[in-house]
Amino acid sequence: MLRVLLAVTMAGALLPRLSCAQAQQAVAAAAPANPFFALCMDTHDSEKRTIEEQAALLKELGYDGAGHLWLDALDERLRTLDAAGLKLYQVYLRVDLTPGKEPYDKRLKDTLPSLKGRDTMLAVLMSGLKPSDTAGDPHAVAIIREIADLAAAAGIRVALYPHTNDWLERVEDGLRVVRQVERPNVGVMFNLCHWLKVDGKGDLKALLASAMPHLFAVSLHGADSAAAIHDGTGNWIQPLGSGSFDVGALLATLRELGYRGPISLQCYGIPGDARVHLSQSIAAWREMATPTSNLR
């Protein structure tokens, strides 16, 4: 928070010497460049807040919006976020590649019109086969093309979501599928928690650079190192600002690579009152994400 206050103070000190346009640019430079929204903030909330109460809390704390798991209660999520002046950034969807099974929730087609014009993404998890098995590519590509074409009619992008132990487990899996799907509204998402679980030792900057042409979204949180997580001594998903993993360096890398898309706060599994950890995380976000160097 000190960095944010310093940045705003510096911008304010410059205002008398700047034109109106320059002053607006200076103030804008004191704010984080990426939209920041909360995901899974309700799954382990000890207060068991309603969807309406969740929207009110996010508004109060200063989040830009929320993500929504699956298609149930989506209308209520939209209504409550709209009432709070917040945005629905993502809706999550499962794809099952198991032969002979219905691949995804068929309510999707009737749901998509309610998302038209909102710049909401579908975040797609893909399971049903062993992780990273390229034998599943043709089936996966056909399904994602079908979903992408449905989504395109509503102006919606599709972000492939790497998830530990799923078929689509790595960012590299997502990129492989994206390149075969060949749809401009299909890209990938980088999820810190699943990267730490699955990899965590590779060159993260190189991975993000390779993903940049197709990187639609990023999720992060506080965490310990991959080594500590793998040997059982580290804590995986924590409030932002906790843990030994350098999230600030990750954000600096994303800024350096030119990423300006949305960033979600992954809250899955964090116990207790969501107000407590959401408050800690938004304060840490403002500290880490403010590009004060722009005020030189």
Mean pLDDT of 17-45: 72
Which residues, other chains included, contact 202 with Cβ-Cβ below 8 Å and sequence gap of 6+? none
Query: What six digits make up the tokens of 284?
Result: 């840490």
pLDDT of 27: 43
All structural domains of the chain with their residue ranges: 1-31, 33-290
Kindly tell me if the per-residue pLDDT of 11 is higher than 90. no
Please give the distance of CA 228 from its chain centroid, rounded to a whole number: 24
Mean pLDDT of 176-194: 98
Model confidence pLDDT, tens digit, residues 192-250: 999 999 987 889 999 999 999 999 999 999 999 999 999 989 899 999 999 999 999 99
Could you give the 3-state DSSP secondary structure of residue 94?
Answer: strand
Kindly tell me if the per-residue pLDDT of 120 is higher than 80. yes
pLDDT of 295: 30
Which CATH code fits 33-290? Answer: 3.20.20.150
Model confidence pLDDT, tens digit, residues 244-293: 999 999 999 999 999 999 999 999 999 999 999 999 999 999 999 886 53
Model confidence pLDDT, tens digit, residues 121-179: 999 999 999 999 999 999 999 999 999 999 999 999 999 999 999 999 999 999 999 99
Helix (H) or strand (E) holding 125: strand 121-127
Residue whose pair of structure tokens reads 């830009």 in the numeric block: 64
Mean pLDDT of 4-10: 44
Kindly tell me if the per-residue pLDDT of 180 is higher than 60. yes
Distance in angstroms (rounded) separating the CA atoms of residues 61 and 100: 45
Threshold 0.85, pTM exceeds: yes
pLDDT of 31: 59
Model confidence pLDDT, tens digit, residues 67-91: 999 999 999 999 999 999 999 999 9
N-term to C-term CA, the chain: 19
